């Protein structure tokens, strides 16, 4: 029996002028669509230009349409990929801002983390801190890593990977996310 394609939201976390990790968000969007694995939307924090929130969405008396839109996109997605740069050994404030904004929307949500840097370690130091934060939010963090080193020379602006081994690494990473999405769907039906 064919299972319907899941819907995945790719959060592009960097709002930095001249950011490069967005290339990797575009790469995963293209990869998932080309391989016919999921329907996808890129949820670009740079487009929202959110302020630092002074309260969580559920306690905001009149949230802005953008905030409601962001929450809806996360809620309706069956899985999330967070593409985050590493800044000083951690994740940027932009992603913590939107994680803390929501609560129920993260509950049992399968989330795969992609870390990006222009150095040789691919932002791997972000993993433990972001994993712990998402765990605290009751998200279901997928047990797979996708570090991207030297993003400035390994991806084009349009998200094309210049190294052929990227696709080979991407497939098992995405398979892990898809497995968690399927498992969650089955559990929700019981």
Ligand X SMILES: Cc1cc2nc3c(=O)[nH]c(=O)nc-3n(C[C@H](O)[C@H](O)[C@H](O)COP(=O)(O)O)c2cc1C
Q: Which residues bind ligand X (CB under 6 A)?
A: 14, 16, 19-21, 85-89, 116-119, 121, 123, 151
Nearest to ligand X of 101, 148 (CB atom): 148
Q: CA 103 to CA 6: how far, in whole Å?
A: 22
Nearest to ligand X of 119, 172 (CB atom): 119
CB of 131 to ligand X, least distance (A): 17
Nearest to ligand X of 100, 118 (CB atom): 118
- The owner of tokens 């967005």 is 22
Write b or e for each residue in 46-66: b if 16 or more Cβ atoms lie within 10 A of its Cβ, otherwise e: eebebeeeeeebeeeeebeee
CB of 143 to ligand X, least distance (A): 23
CB of 56 to ligand X, least distance (A): 26
- Nearest-5° Cα angle at 104, 98 to 38: 75
Tokens of 174: 């995405």
Nearest to ligand X of 88, 188 (CB atom): 88
Tokens of 156: 């084009």
């Amino acid at each position: 029996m064919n299972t319907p394609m899941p819907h995945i939201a790719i959060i592009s976390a960097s709002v930095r002028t001249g950011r490069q990790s967005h290339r990797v968000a575009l790469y995963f969007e293209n990869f998932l669509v080309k391989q016919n694995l999921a329907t996808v939307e890129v949820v670009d924090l740079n487009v929202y230009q959110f302020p630092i929130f002074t309260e969580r969405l559920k306690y905001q008396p009149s949230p802005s349409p953008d905030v409601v839109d962001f929450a809806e996109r996360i809620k309706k997605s069956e899985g999330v990929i967070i593409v985050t740069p590493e800044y000083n050994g951690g994740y940027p404030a932009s992603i913590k801002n939107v994680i803390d904004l929501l609560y129920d929307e993260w509950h049992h949500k399968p989330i795969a983390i992609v870390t990006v840097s222009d150095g040789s370690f691919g932002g791997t130091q972000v993993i433990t801190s972001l994993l712990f934060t998402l765990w605290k939010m009751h998200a279901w963090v997928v047990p797979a890593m996708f570090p991207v080193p030297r993003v400035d020379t390994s991806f084009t602006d349009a998200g094309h990977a210049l190294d052929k081994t990227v696709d080979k690494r991407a497939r098992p990473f995405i398979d892990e996310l898809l497995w968690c999405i399927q498992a969650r769907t089955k559990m929700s039906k019981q």
